[in-house]
Amino acid sequence: MTATRVVVGQGSCGVASGAKKTTAALEQLIADFGLNIPVEITGCVGNCYLEPIVDVYGADGLQARYVKVQAENASAIVERHLKAGEIADELLISEVDGEFLSHQNRIVLRNAGIINPESIDAYIAVGGYKPAEKVLTSMTSEQVIDEIKVSGLRGRGGAGFPTWFKWDAAAKNDADEKFMVCNADEGDPGAFMDRSVLEGDPHSLLEGMLIGGYAIGATEGVIYVRAEYPLAIKRLELALEQARERGYLGKGIFGTATNFDIRIKAGAGAFVCGEETALIASLEGERGMPRLKPPFPAQKGFWQKPTNINNVETFANVPWIIERGGAAFAAIGTEKSAGTKVFALAGKIKKGGLVEVPMGQPLRDVIFGIGGGIKNDKEFKAVQMGGPSGGCIPAELIDTPVDYENITKTGAIVGSGGMIVMDETTCMVDMARYFLDFTRNESCGKCNYCRVGTKRMLEILERITAGEGRDGDIELLEELAQKIKDGSMCGLGQTAPNPVLTTIRYFRNEFEDHIHNKHCTAHSCRALLTFEITDKCVGCTMCAKNCPVEAISGKPKEQHVIDAEKCIKCGKCESSCKFSAITRD
């Protein structure tokens, strides 16, 4: 078994887990042993919970996938696999973990974790830029838009608006200049789909934008990416440079009369810039605040010129659709929600990472099938979908198909694709407070209902979680929520109350328990907790030593006691106890 190359995952998740040190160790050991085996990099394959990941390839393909490979583990791979031709079993991915990818249908992530994102040759080797060449040399803009229409592709950034319709509107608008804009300002907490595509397969975005630019008649593209994504920006800049050198961007692309180039605009991370008119304002150097519509961006957008805006995932689907045909994409998923969707699994999930599944697949298959279920085998409670604009879907709706129509019926939205999984220890009132705090902070302040209303709602939620809830608070939250939805101009304000409304809808009992009984059902809100030392206590004195206010007393080898009046409910006693002798209620 002869290895020909070694590939290390260097997406943000891999780098954060130590992949750069692992790469350096592999390179040094390979050199020390005199082996002529290159060490390459790739993006995130999706198994974020197993990083750093090292793949060893031979002439016939993948020989072994090693997981959680730190620098100190590199010698086992080099000495046993690369030199002796034996598998280092203790680092090998397990059969169960291997199923994480086998249960997916990868279109957007087709190259993620496989090709080198910093090499245009690697992208070309898997068919890259062939769809763009086909479009520019043999298709009219109308034919391209018709193919996207047949595919049923809907915008993957949130609302799920038909992509072809936006393209068609911009294409039919005569103007001396048009713009194709990519919204890569991924702001939902727990979402990292776009980032992984930018880091792992940047050329798929560039090719999708090139095809879209040709379809609407644009000559310039802009990628609006958040500045907090330095690795994504670095790889995008390199990809743009390489594409220009090969003639895939610039003037006379593929020997045609088509001129199209792309530039990057680093945004300051304002969540409101996910709204397209606010994004356009930011591009123009103004404060990111939404504008009234109409006119729509397809009529008057960037610099008052016709503009089309899609997100990263939407564009990444386009080359595949052109290559395979719109009908092939439409055959995946459901009648109204075609194709696949990428989701970021985060929270209390065993296998956190990126998954791509056909639309219509039940939530249960994603969370328990691919994601492996809940950490520490605790009870599944809910999943937050759509980020701050979405809502909580409770355990009893776990069999809901994941598509735009069915998820919307629950009160949540598919959104950009974040899935934050919650277990029995999650307080739903506090979860609602967290998301409302986020949207309150991110409100641009243009609308009174959004600026003031979210603040008032947050104040009520903070009172409830602090044990100071009052009769009528739930009804007041519902009233404020409806007024904010009706009175706000843009999608941020219109959807900001959703997490609160869905938690009240499905977990009203928790709100009532907080208000009337001053009790947190999940034993999570510290202001409502009472810590107690049980008879499991062996008198090791660790809790007393770690208590910052000396609220714990007792003799060594005897059961200790907590003074409830002194206790500040910091939880240090609980975390320091090795005998599970401290309970919370």
3-102 topology per CATH:
Glutaredoxin (3.40.30)
* d(C-alpha 243, C-alpha 317), whole Å: 19
Q: Angle between the 498-516 and 473-487 helix axes, to the nearest 10 degrees?
A: 170
* d(C-alpha 422, C-alpha 35), whole Å: 47
Q: Find out whether 486 and 500 touch, Cβ atoms under 8 Å.
A: no
Enumerate residue ranges in the chain where pLDDT < 70.
none
CA dihedral 452, 454, 456, 462 (to 10 degrees): -150
E strand intervals along 97-241: 179-184, 220-226
* d(C-alpha 418, C-alpha 391), whole Å: 11
- Cα 348 to Cα 43, 101, 380, 420, 523, distances in angstroms: 24, 20, 9, 8, 16
428-516 topology per CATH:
de novo design (two linked rop proteins) (1.20.1440)
- Cα 491 to Cα 223, 434, 502, distances in angstroms: 21, 19, 17
DSSP state of 415: T
Q: Find out whether 310 and 317 touch, Cβ atoms under 8 Å.
A: no
* d(C-alpha 64, C-alpha 69), whole Å: 13
Does domain 529-584 fall under CATH 3.30.70.20? My reply is yes
pLDDT of residue 474: 98
Instruction: Report residue 521: phi and psi, to 5°.
Output: -55, -35
Q: Where are the alpha helices (DSSP H) in 37-104?
A: 74-76, 95-102
The CATH number of the domain covering residues in 120-330? 3.40.50.11540
340-423 topology per CATH:
Ubiquitin-like (UB roll) (3.10.20)
Question: What does the radius of gyration of the chain's CA atoms come to, in whole angstroms?
Answer: 26
pLDDT of residue 277: 94
* d(C-alpha 388, C-alpha 213), whole Å: 31
| DSSP one-letter string for 443-490 | --S-SHHHHHHHHHHHHHHHHHHTT---TTHHHHHHHHHHHHHHH-SS
Instruction: Report residue 509: phi and psi, to 5°.
Output: -60, -35
Which helix or strand (DSSP H or E) is residue 87 part of? none
Q: Find out whether 265 and 283 touch, Cβ atoms under 8 Å.
A: yes
pLDDT of residue 411: 92
CA dihedral 464, 467, 470, 471 (to 10 degrees): 90
**Residue boundaries of the structural domains of the chain:** 3-102, 120-330, 340-423, 428-516, 529-584
Q: Find out whether 42 and 116 touch, Cβ atoms under 8 Å.
A: yes
pLDDT of residue 419: 94
| pLDDT tens digits, 466-517 | 999 999 999 999 999 999 999 999 989 999 999 999 999 999 999 999 999 9
Q: Find out whether 484 and 493 touch, Cβ atoms under 8 Å.
A: yes
Q: Find out whether 569 and 531 touch, Cβ atoms under 8 Å.
A: yes
pLDDT of residue 67: 97
Q: Is 210 exposed, middle or buried (0-12, 13-18, 19+ CB in 10 A)?
A: buried
Decide: pTM greater than 0.75. yes
* d(C-alpha 390, C-alpha 501), whole Å: 10
Six token digits for residue 130: 């062939």
Q: Which residues contact 509 (CB under 8 A, 6 or more apart)?
A: 521
Six token digits for residue 517: 């009984």
Which helix or strand (DSSP H or E) is residue 582 part of? strand 582-584
Please report, for the chain, how many H helices and E strands are present, in that order.
23, 17
Six token digits for residue 266: 């680093």
3-state secondary structure of 386: coil
pLDDT of residue 526: 87
Q: In angstroms, how far is the first alpha carbon of the chain from the final one?
A: 58
